Structure 1
Amino acid sequence: MLSKSNPIKTINIVRCLFVILIITNSYGQSSTYNQFWNEIQFTRTISEKWATEIDLGATYSSTESSSNLFANTIQRSVRGWGHYYFSPRWKFSSFIAYFNNRDVPEIGQFESPEWRFALQGIYYFHKTGYTLSTRMRIEFRHMRNQDGDYENVFRYRQQIKYLQPINSKVLREGVIYAVASDEIYLKSGAKVTGESFFDRNRFNVGAGYLFSDDIQVELTYCNEFLPRNNGNQTTNAASLTISFNNLLESVKKKMASKHNHEIKDEE
Structure 2
Amino acid sequence: MITSIKYGQTTTYNQFWNEIQFNRTINEKWSAELNLGALYSSTESSSNIFQQNIQRSARVWGHYYFSPRWKFSSFIAHNYNKDVPEIGHFKSPKVRFALQGIYYFHKTGYTLSTRMRMELRHMRNEEKDYDNVRYRQQINYIQPINSKVLRESVVYAIASDELSFKSGTKVTGLSFFDNRLNLGAGYLFNDDIQVEVTYANQYLLRDEENQIVNVASLTVTFNNLFKNLNKKLHHKNEASSED
Q: Taking structure 1 as the reference length, what is the TM-score of the superposition?
A: 0.84
Report if the CA contact (8 A) 2:176-2:205 is conserved. Answer: no
Report if the CA contact (8 A) 1:202-1:225 is conserved. Answer: yes
Tell me which residue corresponds to 2:108.
Answer: 128
Q: Aligned pair count?
A: 238
Report if the CA contact (8 A) 1:113-1:144 is conserved. Answer: yes
Residue by residue over 1:25-49, the C-alpha shift from the partner in whole angstroms, topping out at 9 and shown as x without a partner, is: x974532211110100111111100
Counterparts of 2:84 and 2:161, CA distance in 1:
22
Alpha-carbon spacing, 1:28–1:129, altered in 2? closer, same or farther (3 Å): farther
Does residue 1:162 correspond to 2:141, yes or no?
yes
Residue by residue over 1:100-133, the C-alpha shift from the partner in whole angstroms, topping out at 9 and shown as x without a partner, is: 012479x942100001000000000121100110
Report if the CA contact (8 A) 1:83-1:91 is conserved. Answer: yes
Report if the CA contact (8 A) 1:31-1:232 is conserved. Answer: yes
Instruction: Pick the aligned partner of 1:182 from 161, 169, 190.
Output: 161
Does residue 1:201 correspond to 2:194, yes or no?
no
Give the SS at the match of 2:93. strand
Alpha-carbon spacing, 1:41–1:96, altered in 2? closer, same or farther (3 Å): same
Tell me which residue corresponds to 2:118.
Answer: 138
Q: Which has the higher helix share?
A: 1
Counterparts of 2:49 and 2:82, CA distance in 1:
15
Tell me which residue corresponds to 2:18.
Answer: 38
Report if the CA contact (8 A) 1:28-1:232 is conserved. Answer: no
Report if the CA contact (8 A) 1:29-1:234 is conserved. Answer: no
Alpha-carbon spacing, 1:229–1:241, altered in 2? closer, same or farther (3 Å): same
Unaligned runs of 5+ in 1: 1-25
Unaligned runs of 5+ in 2: 1-5
Q: Which has the higher strand share?
A: 2
Where do 1:66-145 residues align within 5 Å? 66-103=46-83, 108-145=88-125
Counterparts of 1:104 and 1:188, CA distance in 2:
25
Alpha-carbon spacing, 1:27–1:182, altered in 2? closer, same or farther (3 Å): farther
Post-superposition offset of 1:233: 1.2
Tell me which residue corresponds to 2:224.
Answer: 246
Counterparts of 2:132 and 2:29, CA distance in 1:
31
Counterparts of 2:110 and 2:9, CA distance in 1:
36
Does residue 1:171 correspond to 2:150, yes or no?
yes
Counterparts of 2:235 and 2:77, CA distance in 1:
36
Q: Taking structure 2 as the reference length, what is the TM-score of the superposition?
A: 0.92
Where has structure 1 moved over 6 Å in runs of 4 or more? none
